[in-house]
Amino acid sequence: MGSIVKREWGRLSDGRLVNLYTLENASGMTMRVTDYGCIVVSLTARDRSGQFADVVLGFDSPADYEKTPRYFGALVGRYGNRIGHGRFTLDGSPVTLSLNNEPGGVPCHLHGGKEGLDKKLWMAESVERESAVGLKFRFISPDGDEGYPGELDMTVHYWLTDADELRIEYEAVTNRPTPVNLTHHGYFNLAGHDAGTILDHEIVINADHITPVDKGMIPTGERMPVEGTPFDFRQSRRIGDRIDERNDQIQFAPGYDHNYVLRGWNGALRSALTLHEPTSGRTMEILTTEPGIQFYTGNFLDGTDVGKGGCVYPFRAGMCLEPQHFPDSPNKADFPSTILRPGDVYRQQSVYLFRAE
């Protein structure tokens, strides 16, 4: 049987109490999650010899998460990823969002704005179902939050299953039309959170195209074939092989920070990618109901983040693999729509499955 243990973890700068939940499945895999930002603080996975290691970057206290701009382990939104210039038109009316990012000197709205869902204290309760223990989170984002129209009522379940999966199930409803694109922003290093860079990891991404970006990291609206480019991960390849190539898309990031157009999107759960760390044998497969996944190689980590146990996280110490709808979709009519309307329910699911090979 799995277990869930709750404890008080600390307080935010305004005095609010933050809790930490430790979940363990039947095989001994553990996950620590806090109600601040729905952050996955730690997640252990077994190597080919049966040894566990914590495979996500993070911090030891709520205060560190409160001040970080890195989104370590958090749930991000209302709109994960970027919206160009923080503006779009919805049903003929202009919408202006907060600006909190400026890649290439071009301002945009990123991951929900100046105080997105990663900086909110969520209501949390422990839940169980057959072969899984979990947490049910709820937060109501008010009308006008960071500029978004409509109240957004969100319920998110995190499940740690006996099959060594982290399952995240999202639901949301609104009282006015509004864009929604929620995702998990974990930084993964399957060698261990304190093991250096992720460049020797091998990855397969089930995508034939990316959505290329301009210098402000906003999609141009095109779908660019990966064939013959550094973005081709249709067969297993080491991440570091071409990450510094003199390619306009690579230089903009710099590195990988791009949305992949996943094959076979029809709203059903299917495999998006497989990540493998050859020394430990740890492997993570991501399945999702979403049309895309953002592949980000920790290009803005710079050695100034002191993480768990005093570990300093260097350049490219972790990677983010964010199942999502495409960036800037409210401004791109040809992209799958992210607009949620009253009476409809936003639902998506992503699964992070761990094994050793």
> For position 242, which CATH number holds?
2.70.98.10
* The amino acid at 329: S
Show the beta-strand stretches assigned E in 162-298: 165-174, 178-179, 183-185, 187-188, 202-205, 207-211, 224-225, 237-238, 257-262, 270-276, 282-288, 292-296
Name the 3-class secondary structure at 106. Answer: coil
Catalytic residues: 185, 322
Range of the domain at 54: 3-356
pLDDT in the model for residue 226? 98
Indicate the pTM of the whole model: 0.98
Cα Rg of the chain, angstroms: 19
One digit per residue, pLDDT tens: the chain, 357 residues?
A: 899 999 999 999 999 999 999 999 999 999 999 999 999 999 999 999 999 999 999 999 999 999 999 999 999 999 999 999 999 999 999 999 999 999 999 999 999 999 999 999 999 999 999 999 999 999 999 999 999 999 999 999 999 999 999 999 999 999 999 999 999 999 999 999 999 999 999 999 999 999 999 999 999 999 999 999 999 999 999 999 999 999 999 999 999 999 999 999 999 999 999 999 999 999 999 999 999 999 999 999 999 999 999 999 999 999 999 999 999 999 999 999 999 999 999 999 999 999 999
Report how many domains make up the chain.
1
pLDDT at 1: 80
What ranges make up the beta strands (E) of 196-306? 202-205, 207-211, 224-225, 237-238, 257-262, 270-276, 282-288, 292-296, 305-306
Q: How far apart are CA 323 and CA 262, in angstroms?
A: 10
| 3-state secondary structure (DSSP) of residue 10 | strand
Give, in order, the Cα–Cα distances in Å from 225 to each of 134, 254, 257, 260, 337.
39, 19, 16, 10, 22
Separation CA 195–CA 55 (nearest Å): 9
